Structure 1
Amino acid sequence: MKDDGGPGCVFCAIVRGEAEASVPYADDRVMVIMDIGPVTPGHLLVIPRVHAVGLEDLDEETSAHVWRIGHRMGRALRRSGLRCEGVNVLLADGEAAFQEVFHFHLHVFPRFEGDGFRITADWGTRTRDLLDQEAEAIRSGLTELDPHENLRL
Structure 2
Amino acid sequence: MFCGIVAGQVQASVAYEDEATLAFMDLGQFHPGHTLIVPRQHIADIFELDKTTGAALMAALSRVARAVRNAFTPHGINIWQSNGPPWQEVLHLHFHVLPRWRDDGLLRFSPPQRSRPSRAELDEQAARIRAALEAGGQRRS
TM above 0.5, yes or no, is: yes
Partner-residue secondary structure (3-state), 1:145: coil
Q: Is the 8 A contact 1:67 1:106 kept in 2?
A: no
**1:118 CA displacement:** 2.5
Q: Aligned equivalents of 1:108 and 1:78: distance in 2?
A: 10
Secondary structure, aligned partner of 1:95: coil
Residue 49 of structure 1: how far off its partner (Å): 0.4
Aligned to 2:51: 60
What are the within-5 Å matches in structure 2 for residues 2-17 of structure 1? 10-17=1-8
| Corresponding residue of 1:78 | 69
Letter in 2 for 1:74: A
Distance 1:58 1:118 in 2: 26
Gapped regions of structure 1 (runs ≥ 5): 1-9, 147-153
For residues 83 and 40 of structure 1, what CA distance do their matches in structure 2 show? Answer: 12
Aligned residues between the structures: 135
**TM-score, structure 2 as length reference:** 0.90
Establish whether residue 101 from structure 1 lines up as the match of residue 124 from structure 2. no
**TM-score (normalizing by structure 1):** 0.83
Distance between the aligned counterparts of 2:45 and 2:16, measured in 1? 22
SS in structure 1 at match of 2:14 = coil
Task: Tell me the alpha carbon deviations over residues 43-66 of structure 1, each in whole angstroms, 9 at most, x when there is no partner.
Answer: 011100000110111212111211
Q: Give the whole-Å Cα distance in 2 for the aligned partners of 1:86 and 1:63.
A: 23
Secondary structure in structure 2 of the residue aligned to 1:24? strand
Q: Which moved more, 1:26-35 or 1:56-65?
A: 56-65
What's the % identity of the aligned pairs?
A: 36
Unaligned stretches of 5+ residues in structure 2: none
Q: Retained in 2: the 8 A contact 1:83–1:112?
A: no
Q: 1:140 maps to what in 2?
A: 131
Match of 1:123, SS?
coil
The alpha carbon displacement at 1:83 in A equals 4.4
Letter in 2 for 1:67: M
Residues of 2 paired with 1:99 and 1:115: CA distance?
23
Query: What is the alpha-carbon root mean square deviation over aligned residues?
Result: 1.4
* C-alpha spacing 1:83/1:114, structure 2 compared with 1 (3 Å): farther
